Structure 1
Amino acid sequence: MLRITLAQMRSSAGRLAAAGVAILIGTAFVTATLLASGVITRTTYDAVTARYADADLVVSATSDAPLTPAQVADVDALGDVEATAVMDYVGVALVGGSRTVYQSVVGVVDDRLQPLEVTSGALPAADDEVALPTDVAERLGVAVGDGVGVETWSSETGEPATTTFTVSGLVADPSGAFMTTGGAAVVSPATFDTWLADQWGGEPQVTELAVALADGADVAAARGEVADAVGGTGREVVTTDERAEAVTADFTGGQDLMFLVFTLTFAAIALLVAGLVIANTFQVLVAQRTRTLALLRCVGADKRQVSRGVLTEAAILGVVASVAGVVLGALLGQGALWVAHAMDVPVPLPATITLTWQAVVLPVAVGTLVTVLSALVPARAATRVAPLAALRPADAPSAVRGAGKVRLVLSVLATVAGFALLAGGAALGLADQPGPGLLAGVAGGTLSFVGVAVGAVFWLPKVTAAAVRLVGVSGPTARLAGANTLRNPRRTAATSTALLIGVTLVATMSTGAASARESLTSALDDQYPVDVTVSSAEYDEEGNPAALPDTLVGQVAGTDGVARAVPVTSFSPQITWPGSEDEPYWPQAVGVDPGAGRDVLRTDGLAELAPGTVLLPSWTVPTGADTPATVTVTVGDESLELRAVVAPVEAWGAVLSAADTAALTGGTPTTDLWVGVADVASADDVVPTLQDVVADSGVVADVSGAAVERASFEQVIDTLLAIVVGLLAVAVVIALIGVANTLSLSVIERRRESATLRAIGLSKAQLRGMLAIEGLLIAGVGAVLGIALGLVYGWAGSAAALGIMGDVSLAVPWLDVTLVLLVAVVAGLVASVVPARTALKASPVEALAAE
């Protein structure tokens, strides 16, 4: 029987190839996901530990109980310790010509603990030398051997002091160790200790220490010795991987497996759709082999042998396709790493993938299991072929049994209950209960989708019939095509369902991402209503921000890409209200002209600002108390009674009008600028230009750009959307293979009917057109219904997940859904090409002849 099975596989190689491609894509997806999870985990760990270089241990301490120099020396003196390095850094102002740049600084350390790479010159050897990041040197216009001013704060004098240092070299940060601080400059250990002591206001104290052990040292034993040397509460000694794991857990909220689960879900979807395609493919094979199976029964094969032959064929196909999928997935993973390295991605990616047994065994096992399970129903159908079928002319069998009532009831209950849960989840999300809302939404979406898919055999044929009536008006060929799609409603429903699943998920994620983009952008507008802020970083004797010169204000306003620059005054008033005189509120307040401020903000946060009014954040009001009608605002000897309004935007401690600010402070010096960018998408260009303008002015000011964060956020959302849609597109591609298989089965079942049509005058072009319309109907119905369901799920999911952020904007990703529909329709037409060639191979006389 095995030889017969292998012979049948050779004769049906073309048909099996389609099913093999479906399972190959699914298993490649699983393999790539498992490999990607390993790469991401390792990359994340390497990115976190990059600043520790080749350290073996990391000592962490709190700012309340930092390590003292004596404790650092004790660790350094341990026998197994080869080197130590302070991981803290200090901030200084670097001055080159008329430019000033703030920069983080570290000290020279042992080569094993140095993550920076010298690209020119050398690391500092003297106390008056500094090595600068290459981009900082370019911005300051200095090179190796030039002098650069370094402004630091002296704890002895209590005033800033500027010293000239010699640039000893230029450094790069290839591993991204100081990515969050824009790189790091390097000074001698003695200089660094002095600056660190000034930062602490006394002796240098350390909150993080990297430790490199001697080769062959027992890490566990050395860890205990280091812990004894720094003993005390609030101090911890861990390995670098443990440190990375802890930091990663903080970033992800402890959900380290979220990415793996997320992507494996898409792999499961791809395999589910592949299973539907495989089931249809084996139905095609059984239909093709009706007479062969009957002959086997005639010569003595029993039902078990026939069924076992089909399942053996499925198992062989599953193993071969799954192994090929593992190879393809590994090649895709390695190719992705090559591309990432070629694009110079600024993260420490490994050079090669690491194949684990899970990434090899699991995809093969899952792929084979899915293939065998998908072949169970066709195998059962094969056992129903009677021996007499080999002795008489007959068309291939067609399963036209109606679906059971139990299935109908269960699908209706699941659909109704699921959509009710989905609606409840959306309502809870909008009611500021995202946790229960998201849980109910996910449960409702899953349950309703299962109900829709299980009940598709009942309602999809009716929807298809409606579509048939629409296309039937174009002529008899279209009416024949429509009738053919309804001939076997169970198989048509299965194929459309496969496409429905893929398209629904693509539309859901596209809709959710589009809604999230608009909703979260609106939330960012509320949180960061100003595109760019230029703030004075110098202070007067009373601790108030120093005024920015008028020349800088004009230069910022005239910068390309800047739509408007509004002067703002920062000051620190005292605010009291009845009953709070003993506990006054000391906010960092801003004063601004109401009209100009409203013009530059991206929200209506200053709608109620006017002379005589102060905007206060809601958290300033005592718990359980009502917002006071008036408050007293005091600066020095001046006080004003102002009407209090809870600010809709809580980005500032308090907001007053420029007129009230002048009355309280005696003037409105420009300590900050609120800058509006003409096009947020160009913020990446505008903000560096503004930083150059400020650096050229010689004014010590900080330039921070919420517009850059917004643009980066939108870029991340777009990138994630592209990745997710790309992942789900795999399921759509697999489903479209199923459309071709369904048309092929339809051609086999209607071989004699097609010949009759040809005999009575149907041309080859008309027969091709009939099959093309069939493919169009199957693919079009699945795609349109999938898009409709995807919009509902996407909107409901957005409401459930994003309600906590305020108003949820429900968006329709027109470009994405149009592209999905277009691809499905075109693919449905292309899928009809091969079946049409099969239908036209035999002449009408040959097809009508009795076999």
Structure 2
Amino acid sequence: MLRLTLAQMRRSLGRLVAAGVAILLGSAFVTATLTAGDVITRGGYDAMTAAYGTADLVVPPVDTPISRVLATARAVPGVTAADPLLMGWGTFESGRRTVNETLVSAPSTPSLGSLEVVEGRVPTSATEVALPAASAERLGVGVGDTLQARWYVWPEEPTGDVTAEPAGEDAEAGDAVAAPADDDVEELTGDVVLVGLVEDPNNAWSRYGGAGLATVEAITRWGGATDPDAFGPTNVLVDVDGDVETVRAALTQELAGADVLTRDEAAARAVEQWGGGNVIVMVVLGFAAVAMLVAALVIANTFQVIVAQRTRMLALLRCVGARRGQLRTAVLLEAGILGVVSGVAGVVTGLALAQGALSVLSRTQDGVPLPTTVTPTLGNVLVPVLVAVLVTVGAALVPARAATRVSPVAALRPADAPSVRARPGRVRLVLSLLLTVGGFVALAGGVALARAGIAVDAMLPLAIGVLGGGASFVGLLVGSPLWVPKVVSALGRPVGAISTSARLAAANTLRNPRRTSATSTALVIGVTLVVMMSTGAVSAQQSLARGFDERGPVDLLVLGTPGEALDAAGRDDVAALDGVETVAVSSVADVETPDGRATEVLVLDVTDAGVLRDDAAAAALTDGRSVVPRWWSGDVVRMELHAGDSAVLDVVARGGDRALLTPQAAQALGIDEAPSALLVRLTPGADAKTVLGDVRDVVGDDSVRVESAAAERQSDEQIVDVVLAIVIGLRGVAVMIALIGVANTLSLSVIERRRESATLRAVGLSRRGLRWMLATEGMLISGVGALIGVALGLVYGWAGAATVFGPMSEVRLSVPWAQLGGVLLVALVAGFVASVLPARAAARTPPVAALGVD
């Protein structure tokens, strides 16, 4: 049977090529999706934990003093290095130029560092610092130059080794000068040497416009403290030599059960805190699941048509002695060989596509953590091949069974012409209704669970949604012979008024419902996938944008010394910068949360609520309700806070890091601070990092901190753009699958009807009329398939986006109109091309010769 199978494949090579191409593209689609998923997941995890370097373990903040945590960690066998992730700020001057720089503690080993030294070296003493190249350029200094650091110390705090001697030319670097600024604070200065220039390759500190490096001692001193423990709990990064899990267990035991995390676990926790679930993994799994389902349907439809055409040949083999089991085995073996060959070719093609996309993106998307090469995994290679084999074999089961059950004599007789009265059976109707209705109910349930946040596990709504969507889609396809011809006929009536060929084309769509639905279904599948991805991607992009706005409602924040009013001239200078739309003044105060933690809040007048990006937060302030971070105590509507006084406030919980109080709430809490902060809203399209640098230049003479949520959002959106670019690439593969499917089914339909075409020619239809009849029929069926696919794609795309991003924010349906128009145009062209070429061959065949075709 193997020789017979191979011989049949060689004789039917032309027919099998089309199915093989569809299988190849489907396998490539699955491979590219799984590979892209690995890239997206790894890139997203790296972005979330970029500040951790490549640390093996992360110890989250604990109540134990940081010095004791470090000593304990360094004493554990297998730990080669342990560093605190300490962050502070420093003010540096050179001549009349000043910069306020975010500083992070210099790592003891490069693996624990998030910044890359591009010139010079890492600081090793309290009199050294490494700055970003942009900051050094603003100061007009280079490696080896001396800067002056300026910081403040409150009198009740010990000043350590600070001296009262002036820093002259002969003073050693680090000697400080105490210059009383007022009754509450001392301003100190000291010389430091710029020993290196750094860059932030993974945008770990983009929120602050970059960061520099300094020793823990220097950050502590410039923060006005004498002990790192005064900074409070912070992350500790650990580098391990040996088995990570063994060291982790020992470290957990030594730290009295502290929650020691691997880097991936820390990333997963960061992603979950960011969006209420592992959004990145959910997106990848969602696309992969849908890709497998749709590719399976396309391949099954194509292969089923091809195998069904060989029923007569199988019957001939029965006549010469072949048993039913042998024929069934031969068909399935042929399908298996085709699946293996095409699946392997698809894996190679998919990896090549992924590598090409990665090469382009790595060159065009600066600052996005992307690997340079694709790393195939066992799953990425085996799963697509297994899917290809299972689908092709599964697609061949039904036609092989039907062919072997037909008696040889009956099968060798000419097939009866299809009857207009022939209708699909009731079993198909019942099965279709059950799958469709049940699937849509499950899909709606998954969306509802995701939006309500009710689930045992974050992946449960996605699983329910994928199963429901898949079941409903299969139900629609199973029942397509029941309703697709009617839709085609309804839309074909106005088309039939154009000409006789058009009327014949519209009538032909009803003559064989199964053939019409099979032809249209190929395009329905592909268009549904394309539109679903487009709609889901656009809806998800806007949903993520709203999530970013909620997470960082203020584009840029200028924080001065609490209680000291900011210079009005500085506000005007910031407002005059390019890229700045609105500037609002705010007071800064400390309040105590219900769990006893002191935290920083902003007091914002309701007339300035328009400076916020988060519309819900702005509306709450306008209604007289304060805004508190959701992580304080969940979604609450009233909360008791403590400052000078205690008060119960009407609040709205949002996803930001800081609370926003109304003036009435501040008055109730006894807060009466001078305006010491500026809230800045950027103009649409402004480069957040450029504006951040400009603001720092303008306020450089003041002891202020500048934070930019817009700069962080800009970096995050780069990652989203990469994800969407990958989705667009996968969507291109889906379009190719759809075109192959429609070309296969339309071409086979025309070939099957050569007798019918010859009869029309014999009764007077011209060659041109025959060609236009077949072309109109192809475009009509393709157009209807595209319209149905568009409608289904919009529903599934929105449902997918709502399921994945529902826990983050409200998802609104966004329709990519331009892309929908392109899809419809491509569908019409595909129907025209797929039918015209076989029609030309049918028109050129003499009627007598065509009537003699078996």
What TM-score does the superposition give when structure 1 sets the normalisation length?
0.80
| Partner SS state of residue 678, structure 2 | strand
Q: What is the rounded CA distance, in whole Å, between the counterparts of 1:711 and 1:609 in structure 2?
A: 26
User: Does residue 22 in structure 1 map to residue 50 in structure 2?
Assistant: no
Deviations along 1:272-311, one digit per CA (max 9) or x if unpaired, are 2233333344146427xx4x55554444444444444333
Aligned residue in 2 for 1:244: 264
Q: Is the 8 A contact 1:15 1:285 kept in 2?
A: no
Aligned residue in 1 for 2:431: 410
Deviation at 1:529, TM superposition (A): 5.2
Aligned residue in 2 for 1:328: 349
Q: What is the rounded CA distance, in whole Å, between the counterparts of 1:2 and 1:622 in structure 2?
A: 69
Deviation at 1:375, TM superposition (A): 1.6
Deviation at 1:506, TM superposition (A): 3.6
Q: Is the 8 A contact 2:26 2:299 kept in 1?
A: no
Aligned residue in 2 for 1:99: 98
Aligned residue in 2 for 1:13: 13
Give the counterpart letter for 2:89 in structure 1: V
Q: What is the rounded CA distance, in whole Å, between the counterparts of 1:632 and 1:62 in structure 2?
A: 24
Instruction: Give matches, 1:344-363, under 5 Å.
Output: 345-346=366-367, 349-363=370-384
Q: Assess, with a 3 A threshold, how the Cα gap between structure 1 residues 533 and 231 changes in structure 2: closer, same or farther.
A: closer
Q: What is the rounded CA distance, in whole Å, between the counterparts of 2:297 and 2:734 in structure 1?
A: 6
| Partner SS state of residue 829, structure 2 | helix
| Partner SS state of residue 375, structure 1 | helix
Q: Assess, with a 3 A threshold, how the Cα gap between structure 1 residues 80 and 449 changes in structure 2: closer, same or farther.
A: closer
Deviation at 1:210, TM superposition (A): 3.0
Q: Is the 8 A contact 2:335 2:393 kept in 1?
A: yes
| Partner SS state of residue 486, structure 1 | helix
Q: What is the rounded CA distance, in whole Å, between the counterparts of 2:409 and 2:488 in structure 1?
A: 36
Deviation at 1:656, TM superposition (A): 2.4
Give the counterpart letter for 1:198 in structure 2: T
Q: Is the 8 A contact 2:119 2:198 kept in 1?
A: yes
Q: What is the rounded CA distance, in whole Å, between the counterparts of 1:689 and 1:402 in structure 2?
A: 71
Correspondence for 1:552 among 541, 555, 570: 570
Deviations along 1:382-423, one digit per CA (max 9) or x if unpaired, are 44676558988x469869964221221232244344445656
Q: What is the rounded CA distance, in whole Å, between the counterparts of 1:723 and 1:835 in structure 2?
A: 35
Correspondence for 1:826 among 825, 829, 835: 829
Deviations along 1:184-219, one digit per CA (max 9) or x if unpaired, are 533467656766963536699985253454xxxx64
| Partner SS state of residue 832, structure 1 | helix
Q: Is the 8 A contact 1:428 1:437 kept in 2?
A: yes
Deviation at 1:740, TM superposition (A): 1.7
Q: Assess, with a 3 A threshold, how the Cα gap between structure 1 residues 623 and 813 changes in structure 2: closer, same or farther.
A: closer
Deviation at 1:751, TM superposition (A): 1.3
Deviation at 1:265, TM superposition (A): 0.5
Q: What is the rounded CA distance, in whole Å, between the counterparts of 2:445 and 2:709 in structure 1?
A: 35
Correspondence for 2:254 among 223, 231, 234: 231
Correspondence for 1:673 among 675, 678, 685: 678
Correspondence for 2:228 among 183, 195, 200: 200
Instruction: Give matches, 1:68-107, under 5 Å.
Output: 68=67, 72=70, 83-96=80-93, 97-107=96-106
Q: What is the rounded CA distance, in whole Å, between the counterparts of 2:637 and 2:201 in structure 1?
A: 55
Aligned residue in 1 for 2:850: 847
Q: What is the rounded CA distance, in whole Å, between the counterparts of 2:305 and 2:661 in structure 1?
A: 69
Instruction: Give matches, 1:493-572, under 5 Å.
Output: 493-517=517-541, 530-536=554-560, 538-539=561-562, 544=563, 546-570=564-588
Aligned residue in 2 for 1:121: 120
Aligned residue in 1 for 2:181: none
Deviation at 1:553, TM superposition (A): 1.5
Instruction: Give matches, 1:274-285, under 5 Å.
Output: 274-283=298-307, 285=309
Q: Is the 8 A contact 2:48 2:271 kept in 1?
A: no
Q: Is the 8 A contact 1:523 1:805 kept in 2?
A: yes
Q: What is the rounded CA distance, in whole Å, between the counterparts of 1:59 and 1:643 in structure 2?
A: 37
Which deviates the most, 196-205 or 399-408? 196-205
Deviation at 1:549, TM superposition (A): 1.3
Aligned residue in 2 for 1:815: 818
| Partner SS state of residue 165, structure 1 | strand
Correspondence for 2:692 among 688, 696, 716: 688
Q: What is the rounded CA distance, in whole Å, between the counterparts of 2:347 and 2:136 in structure 1?
A: 48
User: Does residue 656 in structure 1 map to residue 663 in structure 2?
Assistant: yes
| Partner SS state of residue 346, structure 2 | helix
Aligned residue in 2 for 1:339: 360
Deviation at 1:479, TM superposition (A): 1.7
Q: Assess, with a 3 A threshold, how the Cα gap between structure 1 residues 384 and 207 changes in structure 2: closer, same or farther.
A: closer
Q: Assess, with a 3 A threshold, how the Cα gap between structure 1 residues 635 and 43 changes in structure 2: closer, same or farther.
A: closer
Give the counterpart letter for 2:81 in structure 1: T
**RMSD of aligned alpha carbons:** 5.0
| Partner SS state of residue 603, structure 2 | strand
Give the counterpart letter for 2:682 in structure 1: V
Ranges in structure 1 where 5+ consecutive residues have no aligned partner: none
Instruction: Give matches, 1:625-644, under 5 Å.
Output: none
Q: Is the 8 A contact 2:31 2:346 kept in 1?
A: yes
Q: What is the rounded CA distance, in whole Å, between the counterparts of 2:202 and 2:581 in structure 1?
A: 37
Q: What is the rounded CA distance, in whole Å, between the counterparts of 2:89 and 2:499 in structure 1?
A: 81
Q: What is the rounded CA distance, in whole Å, between the counterparts of 2:52 and 2:648 in structure 1?
A: 54
Aligned residue in 2 for 1:164: 191
Q: Is the 8 A contact 1:276 1:495 kept in 2?
A: no
| Partner SS state of residue 198, structure 1 | coil
Which deviates the most, 122-131 or 782-791? 122-131
Q: Is the 8 A contact 1:66 1:207 kept in 2?
A: no
Deviations along 1:54-105, one digit per CA (max 9) or x if unpaired, are 76x6473644113536x75687678876x53423224132323433222223
Aligned pair count reads 811
Deviation at 1:348, TM superposition (A): 5.5
Q: What is the rounded CA distance, in whole Å, between the counterparts of 2:372 and 2:28 in structure 1?
A: 20
Q: What is the rounded CA distance, in whole Å, between the counterparts of 1:554 and 1:2 in structure 2?
A: 85
Q: Is the 8 A contact 1:562 1:686 kept in 2?
A: no
Q: Assess, with a 3 A threshold, how the Cα gap between structure 1 residues 560 and 303 changes in structure 2: closer, same or farther.
A: same
| Partner SS state of residue 190, structure 2 | strand
| Partner SS state of residue 65, structure 2 | coil
Q: Is the 8 A contact 2:439 2:471 kept in 1?
A: yes
Q: What is the rounded CA distance, in whole Å, between the counterparts of 1:850 and 1:226 in structure 2?
A: 80
| Partner SS state of residue 702, structure 2 | coil
| Partner SS state of residue 673, structure 1 | strand
User: Does residue 311 in structure 1 map to residue 319 in structure 2?
Assistant: no
Give the counterpart letter for 1:479 in structure 2: R
Q: What is the rounded CA distance, in whole Å, between the counterparts of 2:726 and 2:400 in structure 1?
A: 38
Aligned residue in 1 for 2:175: none
Q: Is the 8 A contact 1:109 1:189 kept in 2?
A: no
Aligned residue in 2 for 1:838: 841
Deviation at 1:135, TM superposition (A): 3.0
Q: Assess, with a 3 A threshold, how the Cα gap between structure 1 residues 275 and 809 changes in structure 2: closer, same or farther.
A: closer
Deviation at 1:165, TM superposition (A): 1.0
What TM-score does the superposition give when structure 2 sets the normalisation length?
0.79
Ranges in structure 2 where 5+ consecutive residues have no aligned partner: 160-184
Correspondence for 1:210 among 233, 238, 254: 238
Q: Assess, with a 3 A threshold, how the Cα gap between structure 1 residues 722 and 827 changes in structure 2: closer, same or farther.
A: farther
Q: What is the rounded CA distance, in whole Å, between the counterparts of 1:670 and 1:203 in structure 2?
A: 25
Which deviates the most, 742-751 or 116-125? 116-125
Deviations along 1:630-678, one digit per CA (max 9) or x if unpaired, are x999989xx9xx99876798974421289x98xx999x95423343433
- Percent of pairs identical after alignment? 43
| Partner SS state of residue 742, structure 1 | helix
Q: Assess, with a 3 A threshold, how the Cα gap between structure 1 residues 94 and 839 changes in structure 2: closer, same or farther.
A: farther
